Structure 1
Amino acid sequence: MHDKNGDGHGHGNAEYQWNLFDSESYFQHYYSDPHPDDKLVMRHAVEALKAAEPAGDLDIVDVGTGPNLIPFFCALGRAKRLTAWEYAATNVDWIKRELDTDDMRPQWQTYWAWAREAYGPDWTLPANPIPELREKCTVTQGSVFDLPARTWDAATMFFCAESITERQDEFEAACAAFARSVKPGGTLAAAFLVRSGGYVVADRPFPVLKLSPETIERVFKQHASDVKAELIGIVEREVRSGYSGFIFLTGTAT
């Protein structure tokens, strides 16, 4: 992600080596062992997208996808088109490789089963989502700060805006760009890390901004209506190294 000017404190986005991000190490640490909190986040995301307007298939973007297929699993039931908007070239290549083979990793089989469960029996979803994802998904290399405005019907964002900077001004700029990328009346669904002091990928440090539901609601109410931020899975110990829970946000773009 590129630099954003502002008066925030802490290390800014441009100070980190995103071009050296080790995608496979990140996947192995954060997604190789499916966790009950992942299932909760997926359920919230699916419920938000199932209720998204307008009715019918949607053009959906996931922002800051990283080495992760979970956003696509959550969106597939509603998507006529999917866009992965991801900055790091290593992550772009990783996503393309994952979608290039029909042989899902065992972990993806678990996550996909959770997505199908969240959609419920009234939705017809394939046993293997990869071929359909490959057909519908475009992987675009781009910064969250450069998202085009009023382009998609719905947008998701899993652990992006708070994990690219330590600066509040950059976080708010990323959230604003995310919210503005959706047409008025479209659905916003996003998950944020809680109680995190940063994370390390293959011995390289990366940032996380500490957040509360109140902070997130304040930021998004400037760009959306019906904003709700809910704490999920908050525990006194870390879920995985780097965080101890999530905040899940929903809203309607204005």
Structure 2
Amino acid sequence: MKKLKIRQFGIGTIMKYRPVVSSDSKYIFTIGDGCVYVWIVKTGECLRLINHNSNSNDQQIILAQSINPNNQLQLCVAQQNGIINVWDYEDGILIHTIKVEFEIIDLYSIVNSDIVQENYVSPNDINDQCLFTDIKRLAIDPTDKWLVTFEERSSNSNKDDYLNERKLRFWIFNQTNNQFELNTTIMYPHGQDTLNQILFHPNKLELATTGNDGFIKIWIFIPSNTNKSKHSIFINQYLILFKIQI
């Protein structure tokens, strides 16, 4: 059996295709030789090869791999031909195959982030005016702990964009249930004007937003036990520092 050697690689498939670690840290998955190697972390041995075809003429190029966020014992493997195979990697069983009609560039595990929950219409209210919520902007901080969404909500008959309901929402990731949970909602973060862009600071827990009102606003995340709640200063245009409970 081959063994995984821990070393620094200058070139090779590990540099081209990022390794994936199982949620329990027992296994590492690497792409190479047209298949996925399942390595046992404790021993360094290769448990098995998955997505491997003994007929080299039929072997497809693997583009990406990712753990199924809804079942941590399943590995999704994307091929160049648009097929995604879902494997039980411990038993080496192909569970099902998904065919997509577009080019696959990469695979990422998206946690359960049922964010808006406002487009559902009950059959009892089917004749009522339906409101639609669109997520216009989204950003995740460098630590993957915070998710920020900017949402606009309008009615079917509302043709005046200025009257749309607008919310800037801050979500915090709960590792227990693998979900983002709502922490703070800011109504009309740029007044009646829409928000254009949102961007997290790369080194600090701060969020910058710009809007059609001509303002740049900086939202800072302050622990809830602090006495300072809100600050504002002028730098050409408004620079707003606002408390987000953490």
State TM-score, norm by structure 1: 0.20
Whichever structure has more helix as a proportion of its residues is 1
Whichever structure has more strand as a proportion of its residues is 2
User: Which is bigger in relative contact order (C-alpha 8 A, separation at least 6)?
Assistant: 1
State TM-score, norm by structure 2: 0.20
